[in-house]
Chains A and B, each alone.
Chain A
Amino acid sequence: MIRIPLQSWFSILRLSSEGRIAAAGDVLRRLTHWALLAGVLGILLFGSACRQEISGAASSTKTAEKTIENKGSDTLVNLALAWAEEYMREHPEVRISVTGGGSGTGIASLMNGTADIANASRDMKAEEVREAKANGITPMEFVVARDAIAVVVNPSNPVSRLTMQQISDIYTGKIINWRELGGENRPIVLLSRESNSGTYVYVLENVIRMGDPRSKLLFSPDTLLMPSSEGISTEVRQNPNAIGYDGLGYVTPDQKVLGVARDAGRPYVLPSIATVNDGSYPISRPLYMYTAGEPGGQVKTFLDWLLGPGQKQVSRLGFVPLN
């Protein structure tokens, strides 16, 4: 196959060296030929070149750190975007790209080197830390803000407050009708995020199992796992039977936020910046950023900035700033 194109390549050379003027159509045909072959070759070469370029870019970010890849929790993504925009306005030489996908996704990207900072709405699991260490990475943890998880229902639902025990019983399928909670005679439709969400893990450990590490309670199999926060808010808005949970920053005014009490005897508290800071709202958690090893260069300046002056952005987006 190689021999034939080579021969005709020579024939083209010979024709031109003899100074003979070929018919215009002939030249055109020959040109298209070579263009086609060159195109095929080009595509093949381009493919391999691309791969090299990508790996080259990855190594250059590590050394020069011009682009900061920031990836992970969907809870944190809006806040991270606001930070990135503000920081890039102040430091035009730095580029920060922010992507969501879930806490697990971000941590996985940190381990395989495609992210410089992983956003997480839960702390890293022991096996994730072990896997990172096996890959030669020591993850560094930074608490960047706090978040309250709001329990939401449809605005037409008369129920306005629950205890932690009741929420646990609802999500494990022990309580299946709103009547048992002083509401109308309606079935309860349970909404949750998918299991890759840090919010899901937090709710399971701290609400359903109420922080008891020996507890084996699980979400009821009837729980609808929604692929996004938007899925939860759409269903809560439309369906008077629904109950859902999400980060306070994602609760829209057309959902009704429930007051939550730690125990039956304690007061019912609505989530807000004040109630999270004084510790009276029971379902709040820290939000994290992780770096691979001690951060340096641009990543360090960015993290220092967001832990200092960047905290002004936090309350604007419905999260709770660090004191």
Chain B
Amino acid sequence: MLARKRAEAAQGDWREFVIEALIRVLGFSTIGFVLLIFLFLLREGIPVFYEVPLSNLFGTRWYPPFDLFGTMPLLLGSALVTVTSILIALPLGVATAVFVREVAPEWAREILKPMIEVLAGIPSVVLGFFGMQVVAPLIRETLGAPTGLTVFTGALILAYMALPTIISVAEDALDAVPKSFRDAGLAMGATQWQTIWRVVVPAARSGITTAVMLGMGRAIGETMAVMMVTGNAARMPLSLDSLLRPARTMTATIAAEMGEVASGSIHYHALFGIGIILFLLTFLINLVAASTIFKKQRRGGLR
């Protein structure tokens, strides 16, 4: 009997040990994978920076079959699409978060929150198809663009995709504002509207910044929908009407061209070079988002 009990105890020990080790290995391997991916990206992409002269690499024409690797139109294309989408999504997202958290009655909130989460689950290719078939003709007919496949169409679709992220993170930020703030505002004689816009939202602004940054990270990395609706013309989006003209983003370029490129060629390295730029940009955006979270923590609840 005693021997058996001891055996069982020993068994419990090794079981715990194995599970703990497994979890630890899995946890660390996540970091390892990110590092390995970055190393791979560097190994494949760095050569382009000495294979192609910088004047060509940061030139204005992307034309890989004829060794023109100007990434400027792609960088600006991505930037324009992303910034426009955030400009659309920010007011909508914050307003929705305020409504869901501060204004809507309990039963409405119970319906709205899962519905917003469902939005995040729509596959991007479906949104892209919708954009191509429905939004693009609308844009061409109502805004008078030569074609409906424009920066603005892409930005609309991206805004729609970034909304769930922005809403749920901003809502959490509003949720973290102490009840005493609202009570104080109302007690001072402010209306609910004034309390929300002058007290609660400013108090949650670091969280809202995080929401916007995360939404931006989502938008800049999106590929399929953007490839389907922005027209993929590698032109410099510098004129005033660029919003209603096509553009080519970095992600769409990689997706469209990686399939056929001969591995090890300059074109191949150039695509990975774009990947490095994209990685650094998303990293930077996430860093800014994370730093606002950390700042909030350091202040220890005092805002």
Contact = CB atoms under 8 A, between A and B. Distances in A.
Contact of B147 (A128, A194, A218, A241): A241
A320 B231 CA distance: 31
Nearest to A111: B262
A194 B246 contact: no
A66 to B, nearest CB: 27
A11 B245 CA distance: 73
Interface string A174-194: 000000000000111100001
B17 to A, nearest CB: 7
17 contacts: A4-B17, A5-B14, A8-B11, A102-B260, A187-B146, A195-B64, A195-B257, A223-B233, A224-B147, A224-B231, A225-B231, A225-B233, A225-B234, A227-B227, A231-B228, A234-B132, A239-B140
A196 B63 contact: no
Contact of A201 (B61, B65, B73, B228): B65
Nearest to B14: A4
A189 B145 CA distance: 10
A196 B257 contact: yes
A282 interface: no
Contacts of A227: 227-228, 232, 256
A239 B15 contact: no
Contacts of B17: 4
B18 interface: yes
Contact of B7 (A5, A11, A188): A11
A104 B18 CA distance: 49
A99 to B, nearest CB: 11
Nearest to B258: A196
B133 A108 contact: no
Given A131-B262, A227-B256, A222 B246 contact: yes
A189 B146 contact: yes
Contacts, number: 93
Nearest to B60: A221
A108 B246 CA distance: 30
Given A108-B263, A218-B61, A222-B233, 6 more contacts: A11-B7, A128-B262, A189-B147, A218-B66, A221-B234, A224-B147
Interface in A193-247: 194-196, 201, 204, 218-219, 221-227, 231, 234-235, 238-239, 241-242
B98 to A, nearest CB: 38
A204 B63 CA distance: 12
Interface residues of B, number: 40
Contacts of B262: 104, 108, 128, 131
Contacts of B65: 195, 201, 204
A243 to B, nearest CB: 11
Given A11-B7, A194-B256, A221-B61, A242 B73 contact: no
Given A201-B65, A227-B228, A242-B147, A194 B18 contact: no
A221 B149 CA distance: 15
A33 interface: yes
B154 to A, nearest CB: 13
B7 to A, nearest CB: 6
Interface of B: 7, 11, 14-15, 17-18, 21, 61, 63-66, 73, 132-133, 136-137, 140, 146-149, 227-228, 231-236, 245-246, 248, 256-257, 259-263
Interface SS of chain A: mixed
Nearest 7 pairs between A and B by C-beta? Answer: A196-B260, A104-B260, A187-B146, A224-B231, A4-B14, A225-B232, A189-B147
A10 to B, nearest CB: 11
A102 B257 CA distance: 11
A227 B233 CA distance: 12
Contacts of A8: 11, 14
A227 B63 CA distance: 16
Contacts of A226: 232
Contacts of A188: 146
Nearest to B224: A227
A119 to B, nearest CB: 13
A189 B231 CA distance: 10
Contacts of A195: 64-65, 257
A70 interface: no
A11 B5 CA distance: 13
B136 A101 contact: no
Nearest to B150: A224
A1 interface: yes
A284 interface: no
A260 to B, nearest CB: 23
